[in-house]
């Protein structure tokens, strides 16, 4: 018998001064049993950083042809492809060919550095790829905020993000491994 995903509900209040985007979003996140709270909360962070009415969580687990999040235009073309973690270099190249913009949010400290040292060389030609590395203490701090029902506030300005659940606040300085060429 297969294990079922755990459903999380989140109310997100997003104030993104860089994009002039101030909206609330109610999202439902299915966390697969193989996914950690850290990874799920980084997916939520990625959602907040790119929030848009057309941005949606995809069915990534067990499906390499889909990202963690994506945004499609009205014709079905992929505007934005977002992956979390350390995806395979071949999958990233394929995503760059399918989407207008590709973002990867890596975390896990040293293992993210090792991943980028190996994968980065093969991705130099990708003009539409941005890779952001989250500092090592960020994802565990975000994981502590994970609850089945969450209310989170995201304040974003100048590559700085503050995430608050009303009790605790996590400050994140976004560190690009690589920006678009």
Determine the pLDDT at residue 2.
58
Residue with tokens 């293992």: 111
Q: Kindly report the number of other CB atoms within 10 A of residue 160's CB atom.
A: 13
Q: CATH number for the domain including 35? A: 3.10.640.10
* 39 contacts: CB under 8 Å, gap ≥ 6: 84, 85, 107, 139
How many domains are contained in the chain?
A: 1
Long-range contacts of 112-115 (CB under 8 A, 24+ apart): 112/86, 115/86
pTM here? 0.93
Domain region containing 39: 6-178
**Which strand (E) or helix (H) includes residue 150?**
strand 149-157
Question: What are 22-54's pLDDT values in tens digits?
Answer: 999 999 999 988 899 999 999 999 999 999 999
């Amino acid at each position: 018998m297969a294990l079922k995903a755990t459903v999380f509900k989140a109310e997100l209040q997003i104030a993104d001064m860089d994009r002039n985007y101030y909206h609330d979003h109610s999202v439902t996140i299915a966390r697969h049993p193989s996914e950690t709270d850290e990874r799920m909360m980084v997916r939520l962070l990625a959602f907040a950083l790119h929030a848009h009415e057309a941005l949606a969580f995809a069915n990534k687990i067990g499906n390499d042809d889909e990202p963690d999040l994506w945004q499609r235009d009205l014709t079905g073309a992929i505007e934005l492809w977002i992956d979390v973690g350390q995806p395979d270099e071949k999958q990233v190249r394929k995503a760059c060919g399918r989407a207008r913009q590709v973002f990867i949010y890596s975390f896990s400290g040293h293992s993210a550095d090792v991943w980028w040292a190996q994968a980065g060389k093969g991705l130099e030609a990708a003009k539409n790829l941005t890779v952001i590395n989250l500092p090592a203490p960020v994802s565990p701090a975000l994981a502590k905020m994970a609850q089945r029902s969450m209310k989170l506030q995201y304040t974003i300005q100048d590559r700085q993000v503050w995430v608050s659940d009303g009790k605790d606040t996590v400050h994140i300085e976004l560190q690009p491994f690589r920006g678009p060429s």
